[in-house]
A and B are shown apart, each in its own frame.
Chain A
Amino acid sequence: MTGTRHRDATQGSACLMQAFRRALPMAALAVLLLSAAASPTAAGNPHSAFYSPANDRVFWFIHASDIHLGARGSKDSENLQWLVTTAQNTICPSFIVVSGDLTDSTNGNILGYPNGPHQEEWNEYKSIVDPNVTADTYYDIPGNHDAYSDQYFAYYLANSVQGRATGGTQHSWTRNFWFGEYHFLGVNTADNTGAAFSFLPPYYGDHAGLDSTELAFISSELQAHPNAALTLVFGHHPLAATGDPKDTYIYYGRDEFVGLMNSNGASLYGYGHTHDSSESFYTAGMSEGVFYFNVSALGKDSPNQYTVTAIDCNGIASVTQNVNTWPVVLVTAPMDRYLGGNVNPYTYSIPNSPANPIRALVFDTAAVNEVQYRIDLSGSWRAMQRTAAGNPAYPHLWEAVWNASGLAPGEHTVEVRATTASGVRTDTVRVNVQGTLAGDFPPPDCDVDGSDLAVLIGNPSLMDISTFAQNYGKNTCP
């Protein structure tokens, strides 16, 4: 009896110590999160998109998800091979990000029941990606299928491209150009308990979320890039319930994560998991919101899709396309007013100028015969030209100038059509044409950002372009 009480007392003391040890990092995180929230600095500026004739501020990347290597009866390995060879060589992205479920954890069992991890799947994964990508061009983050029965993420760390390169499960990278720094973050939303898959609700073995260590990394990386023009974040799970009870989502750490994206000016949260493609605008707990982008599975179920996302003068554009279909056409400027479904607060209105720029990216394994545009889905198609050979986006970027001066103020449609040896495809954006004359724009404000450039296009006498470039991102308010 005494012995039992003694053991209980020892156990109680150990319990207190354990709780204290558990509480310390959480307390530290609480301080970090609150100080981050109180900080006036923002890493990115979603409002920095601007409409400009400048055609040398464009770059793009590929977002894919849910490869599910090892899934029986799917085109998992074939599509991954295509992604890192044909797609990469044809689209020439700045990088490829794959937002989780790299492996299926079933190793081809007939039921499709994830009982892994299976090293055989990871060996196949490596055999496909290793000859074709590097850790500077391929960012693979874990999903729930990479986490079942592996609380250490041992298989992910030993076999994924980024796991091997960094020894971590979350990744932060940038792209730096003469026109600015762009920050990207891959977060690990997968369950950290190492629970096995279960098909019993509510979590199906997938208690997804972001713990204090993961949130601390996110906070620290966001704050480490205060000068980023844009911040784009990727994770495997949706932020909230999708309406399908089988779709797990971020159950813990979500509000803190959303708060960090909000206070640091994230522009996009891209995810997978649902095997559906959709886009909307996530606003819960945010001042304005993020472009909330879901890409379908690359390797399991159907349709097998991927996305090309472009940044053009800080404006985001994206197109989702079925694997191995060409051409890919993406209007990068002007920016789609309905990016995310509803009117996007980060898009710009465009002047009723006689010389408005249109730009579009066109990719195809076959020859591109012609690229054309038309306005409001009617009238004749007008030719676009490939940018000059010296342009960084050559030979993929096409451009034209259109006359908006005769248009009524309000919403109009810009449609671009590419005709290639593979076929014909169009991409369409909707824009808001302002009613004011070019010279009637209000003067630029003292917080020099993309919104001012749109003003300057309307009235270049207000500030010359070199002064603008010099002051870009700075606050010149007295």
Chain B
Amino acid sequence: MNRRTAVNVTLALLLVLSTGFVAPCRAQEGGSSHNEKGLGYFKKGFYEYAPHNKHLEANQYYEMAIEEFMKALAENEGDAAAHRNLARVYQAQKKYALSAKEYRRVTELRPGDIDAYVNLAVAYSHLNRYEEAIEQLERAKTKTDDPGAIKRLNGYIEKLEQAR
């Protein structure tokens, strides 16, 4: 290694180390310990069992996750993260009516969360409730100025109109 390379290595090391030390720690998502516990159960079922087609085991963990998210909501009904987590578990269980109910609540609590409207529309589409799905996507369009997002939402609406 020549002198220039050695200097480069040292500088790179210093840069990397200093960047690492000053980087802020990321805050934990969600404030509720029930949410965290529920997510742990969900991840166990969804990432450890479901990819191996062990659906019974996965579902056991989903039920435990649901219990925790319910507890989180019992403490604070306005906990959007808990509603979103619950919606996700129900979606994994293909319980689309329950999933839709929870995503609907997320849109009420977080009206700017456009992906929640789309997830809600997807759940409605599984239930053949196309009118309500379109209605949610129209609402989503009012929450963004991004032309790309609006174009994509219009594309979704078009697909639903063709399906109904």
Contacts and interface: CB of A to CB of B under 8 A. Distances in A.
The answer on A and B forming one complex is yes
Contacts of A34: 5, 8-9, 12
Contact of A20 (B20, B126, B156): B20
Contacts of B13: 27, 30-31
A245 interface: yes
Interface string A72-83: 000000000000
B57 interface: no
Interface stretch (A173-181, A198-206, A302-310, A456-464): A198-206
A203 to B, nearest CB: 12
A112 interface: yes
Contact of B9 (A31, A109, A245): A31
Interface string B118-134: 11011001100000000
Interface string A311-346: 000000000000000000000000000000000000
Interface residues of B, number: 42
A133 interface: no
A245 B148 contact: yes
Q: Size band of the A side of the interface? A: 35 or more
Contacts of B20: 19-20, 22-23, 26-27
Interface string A174-200: 000000000000000000000011111
Contacts of A27: 13, 16-17, 20
Contact of A246 (B48, B115, B148): B148
A255 B22 CA distance: 23
Interface in B1-28: 1-2, 5, 8-9, 12-13, 15-17, 19-25
Q: Which 3 A-B pairs have the closest CB atoms?
A: A23-B20, A158-B51, A15-B25
29 contacts: A19-B20, A19-B21, A23-B16, A23-B21, A26-B19, A27-B13, A27-B16, A27-B20, A30-B13, A30-B15, A34-B9, A38-B5, A109-B125, A111-B122, A111-B125, A111-B160, A113-B119, A113-B121, A113-B122, A117-B51, A123-B53, A154-B47, A154-B48, A196-B115, A199-B148, A199-B149, A199-B152, A200-B115, A201-B149
Given A35-B9, A199-B114, A199-B148, 9 more contacts: A20-B21, A27-B13, A30-B9, A110-B160, A111-B156, A113-B119, A152-B47, A154-B51, A199-B115
